[in-house]
A and B are shown apart, each in its own frame.
Chain A
Amino acid sequence: MEDPIKSKIQSTSKETRQDILGRCLTYLCIGLIVAIVLSIFIFVASKGIATFTVNKASLWEFLTGKNWNPTVTDASGKPQLGALPMITGSFGVTILAVIFATPFAIGTALYMTEVSSKKGEKILQSVIELLVGIPSVVYGFIGLSVIVPFVRTHFGGSGYGILSGSFVLFVMVLPTVTSMTVDSLRAVPRYYKEASLALGATRWQTIYKVLLRSATSGILTAIIFGMARAFGEALAVQMVIGNAAIMPKGLLSSASTLTSVLTMGIGNTVMGTVGNNALWSLALILLLMSLIFNIVVRLIGRKGRMD
């Protein structure tokens, strides 16, 4: 007589089929995500490149030209496609915002990990979570109703401009940079700190010479993430920067960023025209910058591991 168990373990069963099904489903989902990312790149890149391939604009003039006027043709019959004003604006607000935010983020992170009681840490944790949660249009609205008038009365000008944009972005990137800095400070092995304190160093000396130094690559990563967030933020900045696509003359005059020109422009241009294609080229710059921030984070991570 054939052993029933023996024949069962030699044939497929419900479980075999369940596992095949499960594997297929999960691969399908993950494949979908990869496909989405790939198509974002392909679509935006193919539109963004059209400015140079179809409309024959010069890449160099696009990146360095100071006049942005896609609908107007100049003496040589070419539209003015200088994106430098927006590139400057985007980098301007990003760098300023991060310069403002970094000391605050490090200070807050140190407070949470080294200075405060458990309760204080919990409070700050909630504060950061709430700051992350506030939608960017609300930041924009506050920018418009508080920061712009503030800048106008205390610094002069119309109040719209790079300075106001950076103030708004400062608050927006603060929680990102802070929470990542907290993570990297927590990752420093306890005994580093204990050894330093045991040697008679003060708390600040320990923080400065041991903690911050060992967490440097983590903090740098946090800053890059903050920059990525600031660079890509659209509406909050657009609401306070003034939206003049001209080379910024200072921090207090109306300016524009890649994102602000995009949000204002896409709806007002006709698909396929030079003006529209040029906007997609701006989107492509945004996409590439986001990729570059990613790569920089990876490089820092790799270097951090080697140290």
Chain B
Amino acid sequence: MSIGKYDFNEKSILKFEPQEHEIAIETKNLQVYYGNNHALFDGNLQFERYKITSLIGASGSGKSTYLRSLNRMNDNVARVDGQIMYRGLDVNTSKINVYEMRKHIGMVFQRPNPFSKSIRENITFALKEQGLKNKNKLNQIVEQSLRDAALWDEVKDDLDKSAWSLSGGQQQRLCIARTIAMKPDILLLDEPASALDPISTSKIEETLVELKKRYTIIIVTHNMQQASRISDFTAFFHLGHILEYDKTKHIFTMPKVTATNDYISGNFG
């Protein structure tokens, strides 16, 4: 069987040996359906801890669908079958406390979506909801997460301004800060820089490279330079199938699959 003009049996998926690598999260046979539309087939990927993994592929190839399934943002939107292994548990079951899980698997979206609250409250809101009341501690987290997101210097004097008064790039970094303030284990980002100018984009890239010392990062991007610049591993998606997964440098220098090769060399169609 073939998909488009490519053979979907021509696949090359990297597999880690758990003894040598620490695997932060892994999917086994993940299938996603929007109604009758089977949008993701056989998602089998492992993500190594403290690495950046990019998901690349054409628009509509299922990257967001896959990413959003990892922290169950697709509940109520799509049917997700298969296993998502996290800390030895399959978290794709109804027994799992999704709220608790999402605190450890954070997500940043394609379009910046800060709350209509002040910059400070955007970060402290969820922490307060969790019961953190100590003012000093909260201020400390606000500063640290804004520094981590490379936004501190720009906003430190306006923490009580509305978040909606920031520029798009600043808003997106605020969203990153808000997510890492929760001290997640894994950070999922869905094209976080697609709507931003080059300067904001490079700031966010620097931030991510800095953050991977402490977080496992999975990022969807349609920008191949970005993938090759910042990521350690890359997965290539095509029409809902994951055709190739390998170290980024292998993917971009000697891809094993025809479709990947065509995609990264721009002969895709």
Decide if A and B touch, CB cutoff 8 A: yes
Using a CB–CB cutoff of 8 Å, the interface residues on chain A facing chain B are 3, 5-6, 8-16
Knowing that A3-B87, A5-B87 touch, tell me 11 more A-B residue pairs with CB under 8 angstroms.
A5-B185, A6-B87, A9-B86, A9-B89, A9-B100, A10-B97, A12-B97, A13-B100, A14-B131, A15-B99, A16-B97
Q: With a CB–CB cut-off of 8 A, which chain A residues contact B100?
A: 8-9, 11, 13, 15
Closest chain B CB from A12 CB (angstroms)? 6
Q: With a CB–CB cut-off of 8 A, which chain B residues contact A9?
A: 86-87, 89, 91, 96-97, 100-101, 104
In the docked arrangement, what's the CA distance between A246 and B58, Å? 77
Q: With a CB–CB cut-off of 8 A, which chain B residues contact A16?
A: 97, 99
In the docked arrangement, what's the CA distance between A11 and B97, Å? 6
B99 touches A10 (CB 8 A): no
Q: With a CB–CB cut-off of 8 A, which chain B residues contact A11?
A: 97, 100
The interface on chain B, measured as residues whose beta carbon lies within 8 A of the other chain's beta carbons, has a size of 14
In the docked arrangement, what's the CA distance between A5 and B131, Å? 17
Q: With a CB–CB cut-off of 8 A, which chain B residues contact A12?
A: 97
Q: With a CB–CB cut-off of 8 A, which chain B residues contact A5?
A: 87, 104, 185
Q: Flag B86-112 by CB within 8 Å of A: 1 or 0 each.
A: 111101000111011100100000000
Which chain A residue lies CB-closest to B185? A5
- What are 13 contact pairs spanning A and B, CB under 8 A? A6-B88, A6-B89, A9-B104, A10-B89, A10-B96, A11-B97, A12-B97, A13-B97, A13-B100, A14-B131, A15-B99, A15-B100, A16-B99
Q: Please report which residues of chain B, range 157-196, place their CB below 8 angstroms from some CB of chain A when the two chains form the complex.
A: 185
The 6 closest A-B pairs by CB, nearest first: A15-B99, A6-B87, A9-B100, A9-B101, A8-B100, A9-B97
Closest chain B CB from A126 CB (angstroms)? 29
Q: With a CB–CB cut-off of 8 A, which chain B residues contact A15?
A: 97, 99-100
Closest chain A CB from B171 CB (angstroms)? 26
In the docked arrangement, what's the CA distance between A10 and B97, Å? 6
Closest chain A CB from B84 CB (angstroms)? 12
In the docked arrangement, what's the CA distance between A8 and B86, Å? 13
Among A9, A10, A15, A16, residue most surrounded by chain B Cβ atoms (within 10 Å): A9
In the docked arrangement, what's the CA distance between A20 and B139, Å? 32
A8 touches B97 (CB 8 A): yes
Q: With a CB–CB cut-off of 8 A, which chain A residues contact B95?
A: 10
Closest chain B CB from A283 CB (angstroms)? 43
Q: With a CB–CB cut-off of 8 A, which chain A residues contact B99?
A: 13, 15-16
In the docked arrangement, what's the CA distance between A159 and B189, Å? 74
In the docked arrangement, what's the CA distance between A50 and B96, Å? 57
In the docked arrangement, what's the CA distance between A259 and B138, Å? 63
Which chain A residue lies CB-closest to B131? A14
In the docked arrangement, what's the CA distance between A3 and B99, Å? 17
Closest chain B CB from A274 CB (angstroms)? 56
Which chain A residue lies CB-closest to B130? A14
Which chain A residue lies CB-closest to B95? A10
In the docked arrangement, what's the CA distance between A11 and B101, Å? 11
In the docked arrangement, what's the CA distance between A3 and B101, Å? 13
